[in-house]
Amino acid sequence: MQSENEMFQVDIREWIEDGVSQCMGGVRYTFKTPNALIWSFNSGPDPVTGSDCALNLRNDGVLAFEYTPPVPVNGSSSSRAVSWKTQTAGLGVRNLTLLNNGNLVLVDDGGRIVWQSFTVLHDLFLIPTGLEFFGNMTLYDRVALYADFSTPGCYALSMGSQGSLIMFTRANRYVYHTIGVANASEPKASVSNDTIAEYIVIRQNIDFYTSRGVLLGHVPHNVLSNDPLPNVTDLIGSALFKDGNLMINRPSEPNPNHHLYYYNSSITSFCAFPLVCGEYSLCNETSRSCSCPPGFRISYDMATCTATDDATRKCSCPTQYQMPAFNSTCVPADSSYSLRPISVSFPPQPSSFTVASQAECSDLCSKNSSCNAALFDSNTSSCALFPILYTMATPSEKNNSAQAVLAQERFLHKNGSCRNSLSFLRGSPTRN
């Protein structure tokens, strides 16, 4: 199935990896290669383990992505399974249509839309131009999987509760950049008032809207001087790339398979990317080098990856998933040492707790089995907990200094087990 303007198509692919049949399907941009998939029919942005995948519009009006699971160990035959389906039974669905903006819709006899992908999809690899991108949606960067299909990488983007786009690492949800019309880090942003934005639409700019559809303002793209931004109808949309930048792209007129890119997020600082150095590393913008905080030593040996969740594996196992190469990683030089102050710089973290003191922040981390790092902001008395931290920037001419304390602490749990926890306790936030 293809849209009338031939820009979008429904695509289903099946392949065998390590002897296991897998499949994936969704709406893709016709001319964009590789990694053309915008969103997937799968229940998440990962392939289905099975064969004979098909998109089926049933007689009751339900659209379902079906497949045959692998043969069970007992050898009994596998029945058809459903990875994803619409809740449209009994709504008079008569037709399935792919619109010229990439929106897959179900319509009734009167031509009315009873279901549309733009209102129900949550996991994206590209924000199509014209899509209303709400807080329940997430944009992922791509890791090549098979042909034009991808799985989520280390970076992601979503609408934050304060009305700005937040760009974060998936493994620990560390926010490394924000984009918003009321954001001091976006001096070129055009703002109409201080109402919180609920969604954005990618057009020639990133337009921010209230829940009632009132335009609050926009953040312009950085247009290349030798290639003016085209008519809005030529735009494909915005996507995250493996370097962590959000970019707009469109096809080149001479060659539709070649795409021109424009930066949205405007991240140009070497140290602004959280994966530029190793875990718990300090990044120096002036020398473009990585080092370790006091009490840590540099290690070029990557430890055996024991991560069980997908996001951490892809960010902490770069040799396996070909993610950005870590120059090094920092490991404790000693099992115990005293608190040592360091100066670091990184953006405010929205997912934090209100605490009374730095000690309370550290205590919260010690009582949380998944916490290995804590960030304390004395200006707002907030504490953010993380399972892991990547690059932290040292102060430079481009950013302000924030006093922080790095601690190696040994916690004893009630069950008698011990673990080491790293606490980065900062004095004040800086904006990138």
Query: Does residue 331 register a pLDDT over 60?
Result: yes
User: Is there a domain that residue 407 lies in?
Assistant: yes
35: closest CA among 4, 1, 11? Answer: 11
In a domain, 1, yes or no: no
121 domain residue, yes or no: yes
Establish if 432 belongs to a structural domain.
no
Looking at the domain assignment, is residue 327 inside a domain?
yes
Q: Please tell me whether residues 133 and 171 are part of one structural domain.
A: yes
What range does the domain containing 20 cover? 8-263
- Is 173 found in the same domain as 314? no
**298 within 8 A of 344, measured Cβ to Cβ:** no
Comparing C-alpha atoms, which of 58, 121, 54, 41 is closest to residue 94? 58
Nearest residue to 376 via CA among 366, 363, 362, 390: 362
User: 73-77: long-range contacts (C-beta < 8 A, 24 or more apart)?
Assistant: none
Task: Say whether both 187 and 330 belong to one domain.
Answer: no
Mean pLDDT of 53-61: 94
Domain boundary among 208, 236, 263: 263
Residues 275, 259, single domain; the answer is: no
- 431 assigned to some structural domain: no
Same domain, 229 and 177: yes
Structural domains counted in the chain:
2
CA atoms within a 13 Å half-sphere pointing along the CA-CB vector of 310 = 9
Does the pLDDT at position 93 exceed 90? yes
pTM of the predicted structure, to 2 decimals: 0.81
**pLDDT at position 30:** 79
Do 113 and 172 fall within a single domain? yes
Q: 282 and 158 in one domain?
A: no
Q: Does residue 34 have a cis peptide bond before it, meaning omega lies within 30 degrees of 0?
A: yes
Dump strand ranges (E) for 257-372: 259-263, 282-284, 289-291, 296-299, 329-332, 340-344, 353-354
pLDDT at res. 267 = 79
Band of pLDDT at residue 90, cut at 50, 70 and 90? very high
Residue ending a domain, choose from 237, 263, 289: 263
Q: What is the mean pLDDT of the chain?
A: 77
Residues 58 and 178 in one domain: yes
Whether residues 113 and 221 fall in one domain: yes
- Across residues 27-39, what is the average pLDDT? 77
* 3 is a domain residue: no
Q: What pLDDT shows up at residue 337?
A: 53
Q: Is the pLDDT of residue 184 over 50?
A: no
In what helix (H) or strand (E) does residue 9 lie, and over which residues does it extend?
strand 8-17
Same domain, 301 and 404: yes
Position 64 in a domain: yes
Q: Are residues 175 and 210 located together in one domain of the fold?
A: yes
Q: Which one of 1-15, 189-203, 258-272, 363-377 scores highest in mean pLDDT?
A: 1-15
Residue with tokens 């902490």: 316
Q: Where among 213, 229, 263 does a domain terminate?
A: 263
Q: Are residues 154 and 66 in the same domain?
A: yes
pLDDT band at 409 (very low <50, low <70, confident <90, very high): very low
